[in-house]
Chains A and B, each alone.
Chain A
Amino acid sequence: MRELKYDVVVVGGGPAGTAAASRAGELGLSVALVENREVLGGVPLQCVHTGFGVHVFGEDLTGTEFIQRLIDRLEGLDVDVMLRAYVHSIEAADGWKSLNVVSPSGVARLRARAVIYAAGARERSLFEIGVTGGRPDGVYTAGEAQALMDLYGVMPGRSIVIIGSGDVGLIVARRLALEGAQVKAVVEIMPYPGGSMRNVVTCLHDFSIPLYLRHAVLRIMGARRVEKVVVARVGEDLRPVPGTEFEVECDTVIIAAGLRPNVRLLEDVGVAIDPATGGPVVNEYLETSIPGVFAAGNALVINDLVDYAVEQGELAAEGAHTFIERGIPRRGWKRVARGRNVRLAVPHYVSGERDVVIYARVRQPERRVVVQVPEAGWRLPQMGVRPPEMLRLELTRELLARAAGGAITLEVKPLE
Chain B
Amino acid sequence: MSERELTCIICPAACTLRVTVTPDGRLEVRGAGCRRGVEYARLEVLEPRRVVVTVVKVRNGELPVVSVKTSRPVPKNLIREIMRATAELELEAPVEMGQVVARDICGVDLIATRRVRHVKDIN
Instruction: Give A residues with C-beta under 8 Å from B.
Output: 48-50, 60, 62, 64-65, 68, 149-153, 175, 178-180, 196-198, 200-202, 205-206, 367, 382-386, 389
Cβ of B55: which chain A residues have Cβ within 8 Å of it? 48, 149-150, 153
Cβ of A68: which chain B residues have Cβ within 8 Å of it? 97, 114-115
B64 and A152: CB pair below 8 A?
yes
**Residue of chain B at shortest CB distance from A200:** B7
| Chain B positions 102-120 with a Cβ under 8 Å from a chain A Cβ | 113-115
**Residue of chain A at shortest CB distance from B65:** A153
Interchain residue pairs with CB less than 8 A apart (13): A48-B69, A64-B114, A65-B97, A68-B114, A153-B63, A178-B52, A180-B83, A200-B7, A202-B50, A205-B7, A367-B13, A384-B12, A386-B12
| Chain B positions 1-44 with a Cβ under 8 Å from a chain A Cβ | 6-9, 11-15, 33-34
A155–chain B nearest beta-carbon distance, Å: 11
Given A152-B65, A206-B50, A383-B33: A48 in contact with B57 (beta carbons within 8 A): no
B5–chain A nearest beta-carbon distance, Å: 10
Cβ of B6: which chain A residues have Cβ within 8 Å of it? 201
**Complex CA distance for A386 and B69, rounded to whole angstroms:** 30
Mark each residue of chain B from 53 to 65: 1 if its CB lies under 8 Å from any CB of chain A, else 0.
1110100000111
**Complex CA distance for A200 and B12, rounded to whole angstroms:** 12
B91 in the interface, Cβ–Cβ < 8 Å?
Answer: no
B45 in the interface, Cβ–Cβ < 8 Å?
Answer: no
Further 7 A-B residue pairs, CB within 8 A, beyond A64-B113, A202-B9: A48-B114, A178-B54, A180-B83, A383-B33, A384-B14, A386-B12, A386-B14
A201 and B9: CB pair below 8 A?
yes
**Residue of chain B at shortest CB distance from A45:** B114
B72–chain A nearest beta-carbon distance, Å: 11
B89 in the interface, Cβ–Cβ < 8 Å?
Answer: no
**Residue of chain B at shortest CB distance from A66:** B113
The contact size tier of chain B is 20 to 34
**Residue of chain A at shortest CB distance from B57:** A153
B71–chain A nearest beta-carbon distance, Å: 12
**Complex CA distance for A382 and B14, rounded to whole angstroms:** 12
Main secondary structure of the interface of B (DSSP, over half): loop
**Complex CA distance for A386 and B15, rounded to whole angstroms:** 12
A50 and B13: CB pair below 8 A?
no
**Complex CA distance for A175 and B65, rounded to whole angstroms:** 14
B100 in the interface, Cβ–Cβ < 8 Å?
Answer: no
A180–chain B nearest beta-carbon distance, Å: 8
**Residue of chain B at shortest CB distance from A388:** B12
B7 and A48: CB pair below 8 A?
no
Cβ of B79: which chain A residues have Cβ within 8 Å of it? 178
A371–chain B nearest beta-carbon distance, Å: 11
Cβ of B69: which chain A residues have Cβ within 8 Å of it? 48, 50, 62
B121–chain A nearest beta-carbon distance, Å: 15
A178 and B83: CB pair below 8 A?
yes
- Choose from B9, B15, B63 the contact partner of A151 (Cβ within 8 Å): B63
Closest 5 CB pairs of A and B: A384-B13, A383-B13, A153-B65, A48-B67, A198-B9
Given A64-B67, A206-B50, A384-B13: A197 in contact with B7 (beta carbons within 8 A): yes
**Complex CA distance for A201 and B12, rounded to whole angstroms:** 13
A200–chain B nearest beta-carbon distance, Å: 7
Cβ of A205: which chain B residues have Cβ within 8 Å of it? 7
B83 and A152: CB pair below 8 A?
no
Cβ of B52: which chain A residues have Cβ within 8 Å of it? 178
Given A48-B67, A62-B53, A178-B54: A384 in contact with B11 (beta carbons within 8 A): yes
A48 and B64: CB pair below 8 A?
no
**Complex CA distance for A383 and B32, rounded to whole angstroms:** 11
Cβ of B63: which chain A residues have Cβ within 8 Å of it? 151-153
B51 in the interface, Cβ–Cβ < 8 Å?
Answer: yes
B97–chain A nearest beta-carbon distance, Å: 6
